[in-house]
């Protein structure tokens, strides 16, 4: 198993829940190139590991989930390097979003810039009451580069996304909830337990069906795919699965289903 310089990787084999923690507390967990590569490697490893059933992503400490990009590193990029960095970040964050295993971002503090983009790439977001969200790139003469302009509009709507992008306003947790940017807001001390409980509920469902739900929703936002067609194909695929047979049999027999993911 790979070890990481910028992340903690902790798999609870009993539950199948993997906790990935961005671990640069002295930098408020800011993203640099090495951290983004570690995130890509960690999620690739998790998707390939049958023991991993769901993923919880958070930040080290209580101040920040990820407070943004490493500005010192960004300031040293030229135009070509900046384009490559944006494309690489988009690719890695896109793989998180496209993964078949559910990912919850446990946002424990500031999620700004690249941190907000990383949280939005996860399938769900749960925020502590002290969390703050924002895309402040225009304050630096920049725009988001890791998919933020696209996912923010998907989550909160075009008009509000444009307002937040152009003003660089920071959004408190309760406002993020009302906008649809996060799914739940809980006290800081309850954040990780709440996320584990939510993942545990999801992991009690048929794994193939869970993955196909994620794929079908993502297809709606992908210009290269047809969402309704993807849904129909996924629906049909379920009928060939052992989990469908088990799920329907368990329902008729009035017992709890024992899904295997096959």
pLDDT band of residue 50 (cuts 50, 70, 90) is very high
- For residue 89 the two structure tokens come to 């970040």
The DSSP H or E segment spanning 247 is helix 242-252
Distance CA 121, CA 103 (A): 9
Catalytic residues: 117, 137
Distance CA 229, CA 217 (A): 11
At residue 1, the pLDDT reads 64
SS3 58: strand
The residues, any chain, with a CB within 8 Å of residue 211's CB and separated by 6 or more, are 100, 101
CATH class entry, domain 7-203: alpha beta
Distance CA 53, CA 91 (A): 22
Q: How deeply is 148 buried, as exposed, middle or buried, from its count of CB atoms within 10 A (0-12, 13-18, 19+)? A: buried
**CB of 215 within 8 A of CB of 99?**
no
Average pLDDT over residues 97-109: 97
At 122-151, the pLDDT tens digits run 999 999 999 999 999 999 999 999 999 999
This prediction has a pTM of 0.95
At 57-77, the pLDDT tens digits run 999 998 999 999 888 898 899
The DSSP H or E segment spanning 34 is helix 33-48
* Helices (H) then strands (E): counts for the chain: 11, 10
């Amino acid at each position: 198993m790979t070890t990481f310089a910028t992340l903690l990787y902790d798999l609870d084999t009993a539950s199948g829940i993997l906790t990935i923690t961005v671990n640069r507390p002295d930098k408020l967990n800011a993203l640099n190139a090495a951290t983004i590569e570690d995130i890509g490697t960690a999620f690739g490893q998790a998707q390939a590991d049958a023991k991993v059933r769901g993923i919880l992503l958070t930040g080290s400490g209580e101040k920040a989930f990820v407070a943004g990009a490493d500005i010192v590193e960004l300031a040293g990029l030229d135009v070509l390097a900046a384009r490559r960095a944006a494309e690489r970040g988009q690719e890695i964050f896109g793989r998180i979003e496209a993964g078949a295993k559910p990912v919850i971002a446990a946002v424990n503090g500031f999620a700004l810039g690249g941190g907000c983009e990383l949280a939005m790439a996860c399938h769900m977001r749960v925020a502590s009451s002290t969390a703050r969200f924002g895309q402040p790139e225009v304050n630096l003469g920049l725009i988001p580069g890791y998919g933020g302009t696209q996912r923010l509009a998907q989550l909160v709507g075009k008009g509000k996304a444009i307002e937040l992008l152009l003003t660089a306003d920071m959004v408190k947790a309760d406002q993020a909830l009302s906008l649809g940017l996060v799914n739940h807001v809980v006290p800081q001390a309850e954040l990780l337990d709440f996320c584990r409980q939510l993942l545990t509920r999801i992991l009690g469902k048929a794994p193939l069906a869970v993955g196909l739900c994620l794929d079908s929703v993502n297809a709606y936002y992908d210009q290269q795919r047809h969402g309704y067609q993807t849904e129909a194909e996924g629906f049909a695929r379920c009928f060939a699965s052992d989990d469908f047979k088990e799920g329907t049999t368990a329902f008729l027999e009035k017992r709890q289903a024992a899904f295997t993911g096959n």
